[in-house]
Amino acid sequence: MVVPTVKLNNGCTIPIVGLGTWKSKPGEVKQAVVEAITAGYRHIDCAFAYGNEEEVGAGIKQKIDDGTVTRNDLFITSKVWNTFHSFNKVEVAIRQSLKNLGLDYLDLYLIHWPMGYQENTVLFPKDDEGKFIFSDVDYLETWKGLEHCAKLGLTKSIGMSNFNSLQLKRILDNTTIKPVVNQVECHPYLNNSKLIQFCKEHDIVVTAYSPLGSPDRPWAKPEDPVIFEDPKLKELAQKYNRSPVQIILRFQTQRGVVVIPKSVTKERIVDNLNCTDFELTEEDVKYIETFDCNGRVCALDWVKDHPYYPFNVEF
């Protein structure tokens, strides 16, 4: 099937459904990418910090080599990690991701988080007491590094992830290349309507990560609710003769939000893709919006004392 696309403010287009790769384990993510591209996915979301870009790249290569797609058919995203926030490190980081993925360029490169960590060290630098070691690099410097990478042709578009409205505004006031995307956690229990509206007003597309609430997140507790098991969503699924997951994803895509559900199972990969060929009523979209309970699952509480921690404001 042909996946609908959303136009970015620089004229490029992004498929509204992509494959997420966070938490995809070694040994399974290559096949997930192969299955996804075979099923019709053209948008793959990656990040250096996920530690699986080489396998993702191997899956992409297999589908290019067998003639299913060309590089030009695909939309590949990666992200600069928190330990590469200084200007010169950004280029080092993107070149490493390109090498991992076996690509010459990215379609989109994002600042993964506004918070910088100590550089030239491990992904999660901590002191002897187990506290994170921060850097004092301003994310504006990181942004200038992304602009530099775009000018070099290493990425077609640039954006950010996990930025709040105040941080976005600060970027917009200090930019030569406008961000095209803000990728944030977004699902029925955290619908982020105010941030989405802010982004729309500034012609920035929102991508929803963890659109299904990331039930397999490493810090999940057994008693935590699982969104797609919500009786209200199951009821809606029955009404539309769809799966609860498809209802959740359609809720987002009807709002113009790009979704990147992660799966490594062929059936679910296909199921997730088939979420754009039906329509929810406006009443049902508004009904799902009432499920919001500020249910953020990726709050990163352990770094909330960082000066650029993004979740200390309303949106």
Q: Is 50 a catalytic residue?
A: yes
Intervals of the chain under pLDDT 50:
none
Question: What pLDDT does residue 196 have?
Answer: 98
Give me the pLDDT at residue 182, please: 99
Q: How far is CA 215 from the centre of its chain?
A: 16
pTM above 0.85, yes or no: yes
Q: Are 74 and 107 in contact (CB under 8 A)?
A: yes
At residue 229, what is the residue type? E
The DSSP bridge partners found for residue 79 are: 110
User: Are the beta carbons of 276 and 26 closer than 8 angstroms?
Assistant: no
Query: Which DSSP category does 157 fall into?
Result: E
Give the model confidence (pLDDT) of 87-112 as tens digits.
999 999 999 999 999 999 999 999 99
SS3 content of the chain, % helix, strand, coil (to 5): 40, 15, 45
CA-closest candidate to residue 96, choices 113, 110, 78, 111? 78
Spot the catalytic one: 50, 109, 209, 309: 50
d(CA 75, CA 274): 18
Domain ranges of the chain: 5-308
Token reading at 165: 């409205």
Helix H or strand E encompassing 243: none
Cα 301 versus chain centre, distance: 19
CATH of domain 5-308: 3.20.20.100
Distance CA 32, CA 37 (A): 9
> Known binder of ligand: residue 148?
no
- What are the distances in angstroms from CA 274 to CA 58, 224, 249? 25, 27, 9
